[in-house]
């Protein structure tokens, strides 16, 4: 049965970030996720989770200079030391928040290097991080991003991610399947989910094409939730942009939260 995590980077933005935990709990969510926790102290985030009895489902490793357009560096040759340092920062937060899934962003392709160099760097970095995180029971997610929203990102297709997971060959490296990105780049989602099977480590959702509530747009999410039930039993991250206020658009999820 589908269960959902509120993405606090995108939902409840009507209030300051630290107040969003309470709003998520009041709406009936039992888990949250967000992009980055690093502007906040570990202790204050952990306190919000404890007060509101929420589970931390996922967050991302530091991405580099986000405001300048960087989107991670796991696949970028020459930035291996930075990747390892950032992985250690994320590991510290994951331990403090009791979070067992962390997303390692691959980064934008550096045209000074070949695709093969990017691929080799990505595999080597993920093997190192996976071994480091395995000591603490934490899995690492890799996520394809569509080339409309994030042109030039190293990883864009779901089965390409599966192939990389198999090459990395670590049991705690999985694919973060965002059905919004997957529909734009791959389509045929019911069969795609079945193909990916046990490689799926986390799931996120939004409508296509506008990335609003999953109750609108071209995807039949109730059907996709049934398909996912056959292959995945973790939280589904609600990573969408509310069309109006967050609360106004939560009607689609209330039947699931009430179960």
CA dist., res. 174 & res. 101, Å (int): 9
Marked catalytic residue, from 47, 80, 82, 239: 239
Structure tokens at 90: 């994320």
Using CB atoms within 10 A of its CB, is residue 249 exposed (0-12), middle (13-18) or buried (19+)? buried
Marked catalytic residue, from 19, 30, 55, 143: 143
Beta strand segments in 164-247, E: 173-178, 200-205, 235-238
Query: DSSP assignment of 39-60, as one string?
Result: TS-HHHHHHHHHHTT-EEEEEE
| C-beta separation of 3 from 231 below 8 A | no
Using CB atoms within 10 A of its CB, is residue 214 exposed (0-12), middle (13-18) or buried (19+)? buried
CA dist., res. 87 & res. 138, Å (int): 12
Backbone angles phi, psi at 62, to 5 degrees: -55, 135
- Size of the chain, expressed as the number of residues it contains: 259
CA distances from 52 to 7, 27, 101 (A): 15, 11, 20
CA dist., res. 88 & res. 74, Å (int): 13
239 is catalytic: yes
Catalytic (active-site) positions: 143, 239
């Amino acid at each position: 049965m589908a269960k959902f995590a509120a993405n606090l980077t995108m939902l409840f933005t009507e209030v300051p970030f630290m107040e969003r935990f309470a709003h998520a709990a009041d709406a009936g969510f039992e888990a949250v996720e967000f992009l980055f926790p690093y502007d906040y102290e570990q202790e204050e985030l952990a306190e919000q989770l404890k007060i509101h009895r929420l589970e931390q489902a996922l967050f991302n490793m530091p991405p580099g200079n986000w405001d300048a357009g960087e989107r991670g560096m796991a696949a970028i040759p020459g930035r291996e030391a930075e990747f390892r340092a950032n992985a250690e920062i994320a590991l510290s937060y994951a331990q403090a928040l009791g979070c067992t899934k962390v997303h390692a962003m691959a980064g934008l392709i550096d045209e000074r290097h070949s695709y093969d160099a990017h691929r080799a760097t990505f595999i080597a970095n993920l093997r190192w991080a996976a071994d480091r995180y395995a000591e603490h029971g934490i899995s690492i997610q890799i996520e394809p991003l569509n080339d409309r929203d994030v042109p030039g990102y190293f990883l864009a297709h779901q089965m390409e991610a599966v192939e990389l997971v198999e090459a990395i060959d670590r049991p705690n490296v999985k694919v973060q399947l965002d059905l919004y990105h997957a529909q734009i780049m791959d389509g045929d989602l019911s069969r795609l989910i079945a193909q990916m099977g046990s490689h799926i480590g986390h799931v996120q959702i939004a409508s296509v094409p506008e990335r609003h509530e999953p109750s609108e747009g071209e995807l039949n999410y109730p059907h996709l939730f049934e398909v996912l039930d056959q292959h995945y039993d973790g939280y589904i991250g609600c990573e969408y942009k509310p069309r109006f206020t967050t609360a106004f658009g939560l009607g689609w999820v209330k039947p699931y939260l009430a179960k």
